[in-house]
Each structure stands twice: as C-alpha cells, then as structure tokens.
Amino acid sequence: MCLKTGLWALAVAAFFSQLCCEDTSTHPPKPISRGIYVAIGSSVKLPCGDGMTKGTEWRVNGSMLVSGPVLHLHNTSLEDQGIYTCHSPNGGHIETLHLWMGYAPSPPVVQCWSPSYPLKAVCSWTQTPDPILPTYYIATYWYPRTEQPLVHSCRRESDQDQQCILEELELYATVPHLVNITAVNALGSATRILPILIDDIMKPDPPVNVKVTLQPGRKLHVQWAPPPSWPDPVNFTLKYKVQFQWDKRKTASIMGPYESLSMVRSGLVPGRTYHIQVSAMDFMGQGQSSEWSDPVTITLPTS
C-alpha cells in the first residue's frame, strides 16, 4: 500500500514538473531582429550574434549569401537594401537584419518668397541627393533684435513637409531675418541658415479672374483682379503687366505696367488668335514679378 502511494506521488510530481518546469536548454532562443541604416557607398561588417560562431551563414531572401559569422558589404548601393537572415549550422534562425540604404542629409537648398506680403513669407527646400531614408526637418527663424531676439517656429503641416510659413515679420529691416532649416535622419543631420530681407523677397501669386472682351474697332478690353493671397492691395499696391502672344506663341508683346485693374489694346489684327496673360509685381518694383496667369485665348473676327 505504502509503495503504491509513493510510486503514484512520484508520477504526479514528475507530470507536474513537466508541466510547470520547462527545460529551456532544449528550446532555441528567439531570433534577434534589428534594423540598421547604412550610407550608400560605404562598407559595413555585420556580425551574426557574437560574430564568432563557426558554421553560421547569411541569407538574403532565403538564398545563401555568404557562409561565415560576419557579412562584409563593400561599396554598398541601393540594391543592398533588404532583409538579411543569419542561420546556425543546423539551419536554425539566429538573427534577422533589416538593412536600410540611404544618404546622410546635406545642407538643404532653401528658397524663400513672400506671396502674402506683409503678413506671410514661405520657405521651401530640397535635398540633393534625395536622402531616401525618412528624413524630418526642423524649421525656425529669428530676427536679430538688439533686445531679446525671439526664435520662432516656421509653421508646417507635418515634420516631413518641405515647406513652411513665416508669420512674425519685420518689415523694412536692414538686418535680415535668419531662417534655419535642419534636416535629420538616421545617418546624421545638416543645417542651412539663410538670411532674408522680407521686402526683397516679395513675389505675388498671379492675378486672377482675367477676362478679355472684344470691343468695337478691333480692341480688346482686358480686366483682372489682384491675387486673393495678397492681403492688402490697398496699402501695398501692385502694378500689372499684360502679355499678348500670337503665332502659336512665337511672338509676344508686353504692355504696362498698370496700377489699374484693366486696360484696352487697340490696333489688333483681324482673324488673329491672341493668348493673353497678366502678371503682378509690387508697385515699387521690389522683389519679383508673379508668374503669368493662365492664358485667355480670343480670336478677332475677320470682318
């Protein structure tokens, strides 16, 4: 009786020990998974685990790449981007490596202009070469006053946007605003500081609502409206030029500048088709002219 109970207790203990006390030495460790960023053109050594275990091999997309604990990649290119896996001699999966290729940021090429003078200016920037890797930007600006210069954040929709809006502007300043655009990604960062005089970078958007009507005596009456993005055309007057093109746009003549919102051109050729565009500029000639408005086409009757 005693022996039977003892044997039965041993079996239960063994069963439970199997249930709750797993022997980890028989189960393989979970594979490591990591991502690394590599600059295109550089060389890199990628050890598997401790980099010393013999018989391991590196695979990419399931195919064997190199046998050995260390993967050497020389003069890397974009094609080296991918998922690399490292396997033990018995085929066990030791490590997964996501390799991301790209470039460290270079100082952004920044351009600023003011389509909404005097209230707003816009700065946009590009990166050459394109970093490929996800890159975010920090955009700030300040005006170096003698009393406490304030650093403003240049407003953007998101950190990835490559354009921002400046709103706290100092007009008629002799000392420029300083715009600081910093690009950051996994491979590093780069900064550009651009000095700008707001009055120098005026560039209105093109005029809108361009209408052309035929008048008696082979005349064309052209009218337009200031761009809605220009906040104060009363105090910050614009002047306008009107371009007439014909002969499949090979010949053009530009008339103006006009401070009014319309003009009349006479002496036009019957039967000819004219393409008319209008551009705007600050009345003092500061900054740049706007782009030409979308062309309006009209053909004069032959009679």
Partner 1 sequence: MLLLAAMVGCVQVEDRAVTLSNERNSIERTYELTKYLDHQLKEIKDTYLLYLGPPFSDPDFSPPRPNISSLAVPSAATRVDLWRGLENGARLAQNQRAYSVLLCAVRELARSTLCPYLQSSLLHFCSGLSGLLGSISGLMNALGVATDGHAPLTTPALSPRPALNDFTRKVEGFWVLRELQSWLWRSAKDFTRLKKRLRTFHNGAGHKPV
Nearer to partner 1, 174 or 266 (CB): 174
Task: Write out the binding residues for partner 1, residues 78-107 only, by CB under 8 A.
Answer: none
The piece of 2-10, 88-96, 244-252, 278-286 that touches partner 1 (CB under 8 A) is 278-286
Query: For the purposes of burial, counting CB atoms within 10 Å of the CB of 93, is it exposed (0-12), middle (13-18) or buried (19 or more)?
Result: middle
The piece of 35-43, 134-142, 204-212, 230-238 that touches partner 1 (CB under 8 A) is 230-238
Each residue 106-125 as x (binds partner 1 by CB under 8 A) or -, in order, gives: ------------xx------
Distance CA 168, CA 171 (A): 10
Distance CA 123, CA 164 (A): 5
End-to-end Cα separation, the chain, in angstroms: 130
Q: How far apart are CB 191 and partner 1 at their closest, in Å? A: 17
Q: Pick the binder of partner 1 from 199, 203, 274, 278 (CB under 8 A).
A: 199
The piece of 18-26, 53-61, 130-138, 166-174 that touches partner 1 (CB under 8 A) is 166-174
The piece of 37-45, 104-112, 234-242, 248-256 that touches partner 1 (CB under 8 A) is 234-242
Q: Pick the binder of partner 1 from 111, 124, 182, 286 (CB under 8 A).
A: 286
Query: Which residue type occupies 204?
Result: P
Distance CA 176, CA 199 (A): 10
Look-up of token digits 């999966």: 93
| 222-254: burial string, b at 16+ Cβ within 10 Å, e else | bbbebbeebeebeebebbbbbbbbbeeeeeeee
Can you name the residues that pair with 276 across neighbouring β-strands? 244, 296
Reported as type and span, the H/E element at residue 276 is strand 273-282
CA 163, 166, 172, 175 torsion-angle sign: negative
Alpha carbon 205 to chain centroid, angstroms: 22
Nearer to partner 1, 130 or 168 (CB): 168
Longest dimension (CA), the chain: 130
Q: Verify binding: residue 146, partner 1, rule CB under 8 A.
A: yes
Nearer to partner 1, 95 or 199 (CB): 199
Nearer to partner 1, 168 or 291 (CB): 168
Nearer to partner 1, 24 or 235 (CB): 235
Q: Pick the binder of partner 1 from 25, 50, 79, 172 (CB under 8 A).
A: 172
Is there a contact between 58 and 85 (Cβ–Cβ < 8 Å)?
A: yes
The piece of 48-56, 60-68, 123-131, 229-237 that touches partner 1 (CB under 8 A) is 229-237
Q: Pick the binder of partner 1 from 90, 235, 251, 266 (CB under 8 A).
A: 235
Distance CA 101, CA 53 (A): 27
Residues forming contacts to partner 1 in the complex (CB under 8 A) are: 118-119, 146, 168-176, 195, 199, 234-237, 283-284, 286
